[in-house]
């Protein structure tokens, strides 16, 4: 699982990560998940849902290596004239495409109130609490607020809270289908998801100066 992490400058600001489930999981193509960590009222709220296309593009750009430096040379008059012609043509094309997209959007606009939000906040929702000074291997306290047949939020939340010693972790999951329960590829996908969550939360804790819910 790969993750691209970005955090706000304030110690109380949310942080956002793009997690990637590789194609070896039960999907034909890699799955991109958007993870948001929000400190709030003494707790850490973590929400995971399918990433919208804009977040995928931004994450891929952030993870891409910088382009190699290009050699420059003085622009000749002929090259300048050609560049101006190309820029004018590009501008005309962009304006035409924008007008076409605007018209298509008007035709396909959904009825008021029919648009679906990206990611259901409580499709699966669990809360877990690490007990102060608990011994290694001791299970964190936790309960599921909302469940699906997969029921993965609670065990993941309890393990994350224990490993990171979080006083209160609220984990909200809105995941794509994970395949048949117990299948090897499903287990591999869940393991990759949990590792990605652990890495992202560790980065969040480090960005917050070691106190993720301060």
User: For position 1, what pLDDT does the model report?
Assistant: 56
- Contact criterion met (CB below 8 Å) for 161 and 155: no
Write down the pLDDT at residue 115.
Answer: 44
Distance CA 142, CA 155 (A): 8
Has residue 67 got a pLDDT over 90? no
10 has a pLDDT exceeding 50: no
Q: Which residue has the higher pLDDT, 166 or 9?
A: 166
Confidence at residue 187, expressed as pLDDT on a 0 to 100 scale: 79
Does residue 171 have a pLDDT over 90? yes
Handedness of CA 137, 36, 20, 69 (dihedral sign): negative
* Spatial distance between the Cα atoms of 134 and 139, rounded to a whole number of angstroms: 9
- In angstroms, the CA 130 to CA 159 distance is 9
pLDDT at 116: 42
Q: How far is Cα 124 from Cα 145, in angstroms, rounded to an integer? A: 8
Is the pLDDT at 127 greater than 90, yes or no? yes
pLDDT score of 211 more than 60: no
Q: Going from the N-terminus, what domains does the chain have, and what CATH number goes with each? A: 2-62+119-207 (3.30.230.100)
* pTM of the shown model: 0.62
Q: What is the pLDDT of residues 14-56, one digit of tens each?
A: 788 888 877 655 555 777 888 888 887 778 899 998 887 766 6
């Amino acid at each position: 699982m790969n993750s691209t992490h970005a955090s706000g400058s304030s110690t109380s600001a949310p942080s956002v990560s793009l997690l990637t489930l590789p194609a070896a999981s039960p999907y034909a193509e890699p799955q991109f998940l958007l993870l948001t960590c929000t400190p709030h009222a003494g707790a850490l709220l973590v929400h995971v849902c399918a990433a919208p296309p804009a977040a995928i593009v931004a994450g891929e750009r952030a993870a891409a290596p910088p382009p190699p430096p290009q050699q420059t040379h003085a622009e000749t008059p002929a090259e300048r004239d050609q560049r101006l012609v190309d820029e004018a043509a590009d501008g005309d094309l962009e304006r035409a495409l924008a007008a076409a997209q605007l018209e298509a959007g008007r035709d396909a606009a959904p009825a008021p109130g029919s648009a679906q939000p990206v990611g259901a906040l409580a499709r699966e929702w669990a809360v877990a609490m690490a007990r102060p000074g608990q011994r290694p291997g001791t299970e964190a306290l936790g309960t599921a607020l909302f469940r699906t047949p997969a029921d993965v939020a609670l065990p993941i939340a309890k393990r994350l809270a224990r490993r990171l010693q979080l006083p209160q972790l609220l984990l909200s999951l809105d995941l794509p289908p994970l395949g048949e329960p117990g299948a090897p590829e499903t287990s591999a996908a869940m393991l990759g998801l949990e590792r990605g969550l652990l890495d992202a939360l560790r980065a969040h804790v480090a960005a917050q100066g070691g106190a993720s819910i301060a």
